[in-house]
Amino acid sequence: MGRISRLIAAVLLGGAGVTGAVWFLLGEGLDRAEKWVSIVVGVTSLVVAVAGFALAVLTWRQTRDPAEPAGKAEPAGKYRVVVSDAQGVTIGDHNTQHNSFTEPERPAP
């Protein structure tokens, strides 16, 4: 089943569900309909909360790096840097740097 077919089926099923719910609630009267709506909203919010928690757990599990054990000590140096032919390199945290690079003057021929 293609993506478009599934989308159409979902829209049709959702529309049928909403139509059925409206038809049911119209037959119940205002007081009972209000109670049913409260129950449906409560159940729906619980389902959405559980789905959100499950998504958070799955995301957390995917972002963890299993090759790196928790609490692993960092190496002695915080930064490992190799710099060659560079200007204005700043290494470290919370540094401020103002650079003004100019071309060196070339000797006249």
Domain ranges of the chain: 3-63
Instruction: Please write the tens of the pLDDT for every residue from 41-100.
Output: 999 999 999 999 999 998 888 877 665 555 555 566 677 788 887 777 888 788 888 888
Tokens of 82: 């190799």
CA-CA distance, 49 to 81, in Å (whole number)? 45
Instruction: Please write the tens of the pLDDT for every residue from 6-35.
Output: 899 999 999 998 898 888 888 888 888 888
CA-CA distance, 56 to 41, in Å (whole number)? 22
